[in-house]
Structures are given as structure tokens and as C-alpha cells.
Amino acid sequence: MAIENKPAGSLKVKTLQIHWHDKQAVYSVDFEPGTSERFATGGADNAVRIWKIQKSETEPPNIQFRSTLSRHSAAVNVVRWSPKGGVLATGGDDASIILWREAPHTAATQSAGNIADEDEEENLETWRLHNHLKIPTGREIYDLAWSPDANYIISACFDNVARIWDTRDGKCIHAIEDHTHVVQGVAWDPLEQYLATQSSDRSVHIYSYDIKPTGVTVKRLASHSRIDTLQPAEPSGSRSNTPIPPPQSSPTKPAAASSSAAPIPEVPVPAPVLQPPTKMRMYRDETLVSFFRRLTFSPDGSLLITPTGQYKLGTGKNDIVRNATFVYTRGGIRKQPVVILPNMKKPSIAVRFNPRFYELEERQTQATFLLPHRLIFAVAAQDAVLIYDTQAATPLALMKNLHYATINDIAWSYDGTTLMLVSSDGFCSMVVFDKEELGMVIARDPTAAMDGVEILSTGVTVPDNVAMRDNDVEMIVDDDESRMPDKKNEGALSQAKLMKFDMAGSAADPVRIDSVEPIDVDSVEQTIEVEQTVL
């Protein structure tokens, strides 16, 4: 995506007309690390499928089917590649976590549970069951996260438990039983210090851990479930547009142990006169229409971002509760979030970081996070996807109305140029960036901790009409209603047409979004959408 002084690029969005999982819901997607351009999907047809993106300098990317993996006996809710590549972990409603490893593919190769024999000839790759981990309570698995060394996996389960597994012998080495409702998301710190879990009990838990041959120690450091709602006291009775500094109170539950991470330096902020704070729930309850709350750490470990947040400006009964996504810093992981990203009308359900690090750009405004590099991440709401970078608080792009049903998962390719979205309507969308469109990729030491992340100390409110970066955006859209789920010919292929949207506009100043107005989607003209789609 072209930003400020760079020449405009062409971000391409295409809803792919492929029967990914026999016209049934697609629940998860993930790219394999490395240069293979391979990715996996899991769906309601009980299958895992392997695909490959074939790129060309002159033609749009093409998706090639590679293999179907069919050992699961119920819907597959999550697919996650090992950080080292070569091994795929999948989890589903059958209470199974299956580890798959690619085997040599020859005409004489037996499937060994790979797929049904009559479909064997369609496969271009052969995958064998490497290990089979079984949830003892027999309940559904909703999320998985690998340890950075690929020796362990943490699982999120319907039985309210997050379990740590040794992938080498398939044994459960520890069960975290702190949540009181379904665990719907898990994340593993890339610096191997923290674990994070998110549950429909409306909380996010942060843990430190130590895995040794003699045993496993897991200590809860924080439980984030309530946030202070602060309202500036205005003598005139009018409402100020000055953003309110984030509350600095401790989490509702005391920390169980100290962390070795260095604390964030306290940044001085203007101190408006405040009315007494009140507490409100930070996250949506179990009535949220989604199986997933996919939180994530940034690839450098500096940030933790959690979906399904909510926030209320003011303390009145009539104040509107808005959807949000919360951002925590590593040094302040026990504290309340430092940034609140306003979302769409529907809650966010997943956050994924682009795995690449980008050069800082020369901008007229100060960055939101004072990092030595730019990170890019996508936030998936149930009906839209927003793309952000860490130099600004306003989104780089907003994509909506791409699907007829809720979005379930998102994933970035290893080279950072492709973003995949999967939906319950049975289809996937692909967002493709030109080379260097997001910026110049840089290398950095992945073991360098970012404990002392500084946050912009002052800011401005996000304008009602959020302006995107200067950019021409191309998108493939489908105006054929034959994909509507309630049609008899559900999933039928249709011809797509090319539409071009001019996204010219000046970027708003970055801001610590602690109490700003949400993005008014109805007033944003520079969005990517399929107008014919009815959600």
C-alpha cells in the first residue's frame, strides 16, 4: 500500500470462487513459514486442505490445490503451522489435535489416513499423521499456538481449559484451569516468556512459564477483565474532544508472580480533571456469535493485541458501548491496555501480525508506538477487516462486505505480501500487495526484546471521516448473487468484475486511542466494499 510520499500502488482484493470445503464453512487458515507459498485451511466438512499460491510477474496470483487431510471426524476449527515449517497442527470438534508431516509422494504411496482412496489421485502431496493428541474430556478445540522452538503447543478448549502439549511425545504436560467459561484463543510469546489466553468468561489471562525436564511451572501474572471508564468533568457541561489518558490502575486480580520484563517508562501526560472512575467489562460475553477470540503477540514480542473488546465513553446509563480491540505493551502487560482501537459495528474476533519488519517511514506526525521498525497487523471483525501499522492509529485500509457470513480467521503469508480471510459462507478472500507496497522490509534480531516500548504521550481525536493513505485500490468483486447461502445453487461459480476505488486522502494524525470516537463506517467513503453484498 502506498503511504504518503511513496508512489501509489495497487492493493488487490479478490474473493476466490473455489469450493474450499465442499461449500461448507471455512474456520481457519494459516501460511507455512518459508518460501513455499503453501497454506492450509480447515472447515466444517471435517477436512484439512493444503493449497499453494502461484505468483506471476504479469498475471494475478493463482491458487493450486495440493492435498486433502481427512483424519478428523468433526469440524476442523484451527490450523497452525510449526514456526519451523514442515509440520501442521490441526484441532477440531472431535477433541483431537493432529500433527501432520509431509511424506514422499509417489504413485505407490498409501494415504494412511491422508484422504479417501477414491480421491487419492487428486493429491499432489502426501501427508502422514505424525502425532495424535487427544483432549481427555472429549470437548472441542478452538485455537492452537506453537512455542517458538516448535517443541510445544498450547490449546484452547471448550472445557474451559488451556493445555500445554509436548509435540515430541504427544503428552499433555500442564493444564491451565483458571477460566470459568470456554477458552477461545491462545497465544505464545515469541520471546518465550509469556502465554496468553482469552475466554468467553470475558477475560484475558497472562502467564509466565518455565518448562524443565523436572516439571512445568505456570504462574498467572494478570487477569484483564475490567477497565476504568473515565469522564472529564467539564464546567460548561460540554464534552471535551481531548483524549483521556489511559487508566493506570492495576488489573482486577493481583499478580501471582513478578516478570523479568523491564517496565515501560512512565510517560507524562496532561491530567484533566476527572470524575471518579467506574469499572466496566472489557470484553464481550458468551452471547458473542463466534467460536473464536484469536489474540496474538507481535513478532518482536513488543505488543499483545486482543479482540472482542468493548468500551464506553462516560459513565451514564445511556452511553453507548462500542466494539474495540485492546493493545497491551510488553512492559505493561500487567496493566490496562495502552491503546483502544475502535472497531466496526460488529465485534473483532481475530488479530494477526504481518511476520515482516518494515523500515520506519518519514511522516509529519509522531508514531503511535516508538519502535525501531514498523509492524503491520490486521484486525478481523465479523464483517470487515482493518489493516494497521504501528506508526499510526488510523487504519491503512478497511475492507468490508466481502462475505455473506462472519469472518472466522485471517493469516499473512511469510513474505508479508498476501493476507487471506476465511468465512462461514464457505469462501476465502485474498488481499495481495505489490512488492514494497507496504514498505521496505528489514532484518532484525528476533531475540531482541522490546520491553521499553514508548507510547505517544499526547494525541488527537480520530476525525469522523477517517481518511486513508493516498492509494489506488483495485479489487475483484462478485456481483452475482448465486453465492448467497440461501440460494439453491449455493457456492456456484460466477464471473467477477474488476472495480477500482480511489483512496486519495490525507492521513489523520496518530493517536493514543484511549477514549476516542469510533470509526464511523457509514461516513467513510474510502473503504473497500462490495455494495451488492447483504450481510
- pLDDT tens across 260-277, in order? 444 434 434 344 444 555
Residue 324 backbone phi and psi in degrees, to 5? -155, 165
Q: What per-residue confidence (pLDDT) applies to 277?
A: 56
Would the pLDDT of 48 be above 90?
yes
Q: What per-residue confidence (pLDDT) applies to 508?
A: 30
Instruction: Please report, for the chain, the start and end positions of each structural domain, with discontinuous segments joined by +.
Output: 12-106+119-229+277-432
Q: What per-residue confidence (pLDDT) applies to 489?
A: 30
CATH of domain 12-106+119-229+277-432: 2.130.10.10
Element (H, E) at 153: strand 152-157
Top pLDDT among 230 and 505 is at: 230
Angle, CA of 376, 196 and 79, to the nearest 5°? 70
Mean pLDDT of all residues in 92-102 = 97
How many whole angstroms separate alpha carbon 298 and alpha carbon 358?
13
- Tell me which amino acid residue 338 is: V
Name the least confident of 133-147, 278-292, 352-366, 473-487. Answer: 473-487
- Most confident segment among 107-111, 244-248, 287-291: 287-291
Would the pLDDT of 430 be above 60?
yes
CA distances from 352 to 85, 297, 376, 412, 421 (A): 18, 8, 9, 7, 11
- pLDDT tens across 70-94, in order? 999 999 999 999 999 999 999 999 9
> Coil, helix or strand for 116?
coil
Q: What per-residue confidence (pLDDT) applies to 4?
A: 33
Name the least confident of 63-72, 176-185, 405-414, 498-507. Answer: 498-507
Would the pLDDT of 27 be above 90?
yes
How many whole angstroms separate alpha carbon 504 and alpha carbon 432?
19
Top pLDDT among 244 and 28 is at: 28
Would the pLDDT of 30 be above 90?
yes
Would the pLDDT of 501 be above 80?
no
Would the pLDDT of 507 be above 60?
no
Q: What per-residue confidence (pLDDT) applies to 515?
A: 32
Would the pLDDT of 95 be above 50?
yes
Top pLDDT among 436 and 497 is at: 436
Q: What per-residue confidence (pLDDT) applies to 18?
A: 84
> Coil, helix or strand for 80?
strand
Is the C-alpha dihedral spanning 320, 326, 332, 338 positive or negative? negative
> Coil, helix or strand for 97?
strand
19, exposed or middle or buried, with CB in 10 Å at 0-12, 13-18, 19+? middle
- pTM, two decimals, is 0.75
Name the least confident of 110-114, 223-227, 239-243, 315-319. Answer: 239-243
Residue 217 backbone phi and psi in degrees, to 5? -120, 125
Top pLDDT among 311 and 153 is at: 153
Cα end-to-end span (Å), the chain: 27
Predicted confidence band at 367 (pLDDT cuts at 50, 70, 90)? confident
Predicted confidence band at 36 (pLDDT cuts at 50, 70, 90)? confident
Mean pLDDT (the chain) is: 75
Helices in 370-508 by DSSP H: which ranges? Answer: none
Top pLDDT among 340 and 449 is at: 340
Q: What per-residue confidence (pLDDT) applies to 394?
A: 84
Would the pLDDT of 301 be above 50?
yes
How many whole angstroms separate alpha carbon 355 and alpha carbon 178?
31
Residues 38 and 59: beta-carbon distance below 8 Å = no
Would the pLDDT of 326 be above 70?
yes
